[in-house]
Chains A and B, each alone.
Chain A
């Protein structure tokens, strides 16, 4: 069966510091991968999605970037965090072909101080 991992689970970082969040998927090949951000009490905002290694689509302009160095690894980064980057970051995957279910990882709760 498929499993999706995210780490760290929680993170407190000062403004201006760098960020690296990692997501890995097990039990499937060539998945679509997604990064979402959820502000407190709000909906899900799609940040990036990837249909393959090195292929990243960005949905919103921001100081965040994403990379997919391996088939089942998706990384979210920032060189300098802003206060507004605080939130619940969720990685998700879906099967690459067709309209298929999307499954979320456990999330990383980021607080920028």
Chain B
């Protein structure tokens, strides 16, 4: 079955700097890759996603890139702000049915 790895497990950046989180997946049939942000004690919130027919997607300060050949995808956050501090999860899915999540990255943005 699908296996998703995520690195780093923790990340600290200075406010205004960029943050990059990387995920790898094992099943080449996966075709949908969402990213979620989870604040303490709350539900995960979808922040951006990418489908296998696209190489890059951007939404304001957040971007995601996908390399299907290498089976990895990355989340890029630019001009980080303290409210970006949270745990971020990547996931991979085949046809939107069985979602496999990475173990999460705890991002701390230091003022």
Interface residues of A (CB under 8 A from B): 32, 34, 42-46, 49, 51, 57, 59, 90, 94-95, 97-107
Shortest Cβ gap from A28 to chain B (Å): 13
- B19-45, CB < 8 A from A: 31-32, 34, 36, 42-45
- B49: contacting residue among A46, A98, A101, A107, CB under 8 A: A101
Collect the chain B residues with CB atoms within 8 Å of residue A45's CB: 101
Q: Are B96 and A32 in contact (CB under 8 A)?
A: yes
Shortest Cβ gap from B53 to chain A (Å): 10
A-B contact count (CB 8 A): 60
The 4 residue pairs across chains A and B that have the minimum distance between CB atoms: A99-B32, A104-B43, A43-B103, A44-B101
- B43: contacting residue among A32, A59, A100, A106, CB under 8 A: A106
With A and B bound together, what is the CA distance between A100 and B51 in angstroms?
9
Q: Are B44 and A104 in contact (CB under 8 A)?
A: yes
- B46: contacting residue among A32, A42, A98, A103, CB under 8 A: A103
Q: Are A101 and B34 in contact (CB under 8 A)?
A: yes
Q: Are B96 and A102 in contact (CB under 8 A)?
A: yes
**How many residues belonging to B are interface residues under a CB distance threshold of 8 Å?**
26
Collect the chain B residues with CB atoms within 8 Å of residue A106's CB: 42-43
Q: Are A43 and B93 in contact (CB under 8 A)?
A: no
With A and B bound together, what is the CA distance between A98 and B49 in angstroms?
14
Known: A43-B103, A102-B96, A104-B45. 8 other contacts (CB 8 A): A42-B104, A44-B91, A59-B98, A95-B96, A99-B52, A101-B46, A106-B43, A107-B42
The binding surface of chain B is classed by DSSP as: strand
Whether B63 sits at the interface, judged by CB under 8 Å, is no
Q: Are A99 and B95 in contact (CB under 8 A)?
A: yes
Shortest Cβ gap from A20 to chain B (Å): 20
Instruction: Jot down 26 A-B pairs with beta carbons below 8 A, ordered by A.
Output: A42-B103, A43-B89, A43-B101, A45-B101, A46-B98, A46-B99, A46-B101, A49-B97, A51-B97, A57-B98, A59-B98, A90-B43, A90-B44, A95-B96, A99-B51, A99-B93, A100-B32, A100-B96, A101-B34, A101-B49, A102-B46, A102-B99, A104-B44, A105-B43, A106-B42, A107-B42
